[in-house]
């Protein structure tokens, strides 16, 4: 059960409703906004920022989704791990590819750029001080500086919001495997049921 009261879309501010059209979204798609709605202006600002971030994306959806899911594993954000976004699926992310995230450095179906992007997100989530001058030179060998900024900002949102969402414990609408509490980490790979969203 969510630790913060969920506000359904009929209780959202007019501004937030206008920005999101919640009546066309599934309950899961409304996700964290049902909690952020307690702070309507903050929620509206987040929607606008995240929309700009996604709308200005130049890197492949596949790469962003793989990085997001690996970060979700480190955050142990069950709602983040349970979701698969349609643009990423259209860009080749299927459950076989998601299984590569168990050991991404060894995965044969990931490109070197994808492995580096996943590693960058993972380091930001688990050991950000390991990202030094030499690591940025490695990033620059595969990405432009604008792409590095894009990866970094997206990873930062995934890390921060994923950790926050994990503490909110919004799991009641997730598949059973993601609702279970366990001493062992839950993974986004090798799951029988996940949820596809727009």
Question: Is residue 3 situated within a structural domain?
Answer: no
pLDDT value at residue 136: 98
pLDDT digits (tens, 9 = 90+) for 120-168: 999 999 999 999 999 999 999 999 999 999 999 999 999 999 999 999 9
Question: Is residue 156 situated within a structural domain?
Answer: yes
Model confidence band, residue 21 (pLDDT cutoffs 50, 70, 90): confident
pLDDT digits (tens, 9 = 90+) for 36-93: 999 999 999 999 999 999 999 999 999 999 999 999 999 999 999 999 999 999 999 9
In this structure, are 85 and 51 located in the same domain?
A: no
In this structure, are 119 and 146 located in the same domain?
A: yes
In this structure, are 68 and 41 located in the same domain?
A: no
In this structure, are 75 and 172 located in the same domain?
A: yes
Report yes or no on whether pTM surpasses 0.85: yes
pLDDT value at residue 110: 98
CB 20 within 8 A of CB 45: no
Contacts of 42 (CB under 8 A, 6+ apart): 36
Q: What is the rounded distance in angstroms from the CA atom of residue 30 to the CA atom of residue 132?
A: 37
Find the domain containing 109 and state its range: 61-197
Largest CA distance in the chain: 51
Q: Is 194 exposed, middle or buried (0-12, 13-18, 19+ CB in 10 A)?
A: middle
Domain count along the chain: 2
pLDDT value at residue 31: 86
Instruction: Please list, residue by residue across 107-131, b when 16 or more beta carbons sit within 10 angstroms of its beta carbon and e when fewer do.
Output: beebeeebbbbbbbbbebbeeeeeb
Q: What is the rounded distance in angstroms from the CA atom of residue 64 to the CA atom of residue 173?
A: 24
In this structure, are 106 and 24 located in the same domain?
A: no
Res. 23: pLDDT tops 80: no
């Amino acid at each position: 059960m969510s630790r913060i009261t969920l506000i359904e879309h009929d209780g959202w501010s007019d501004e937030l409703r206008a920005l999101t059209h919640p009546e066309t979204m599934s309950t899961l798609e409304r996700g964290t906004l049902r909690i952020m709605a307690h702070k309507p202006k903050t929620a509206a600002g987040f929607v606008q920022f995240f929309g700009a971030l996604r709308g200005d994306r130049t890197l492949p959806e596949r790469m962003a989704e793989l990085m997001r899911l690996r970060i979700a594993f480190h955050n142990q954000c069950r709602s983040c791990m349970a979701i698969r976004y349609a643009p990423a699926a259209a860009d080749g992310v299927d459950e076989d590819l998601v299984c590569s995230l168990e050991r991404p450095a060894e995965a044969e179906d990931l490109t070197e750029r994808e492995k580096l992007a996943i590693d960058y997100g993972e380091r930001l989530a688990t050991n950000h001080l390991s990202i030094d001058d030499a690591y940025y030179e490695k990033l620059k060998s595969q990405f432009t500086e604008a792409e590095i900024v894009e990866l970094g900002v997206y990873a930062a949102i995934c890390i921060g919001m994923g950790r926050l969402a994990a503490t909110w414990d919004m799991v009641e609408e997730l598949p059973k495997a993601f609702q279970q509490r366990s001493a062992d980490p839950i993974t986004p790979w090798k799951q029988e049921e996940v949820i596809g969203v727009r």
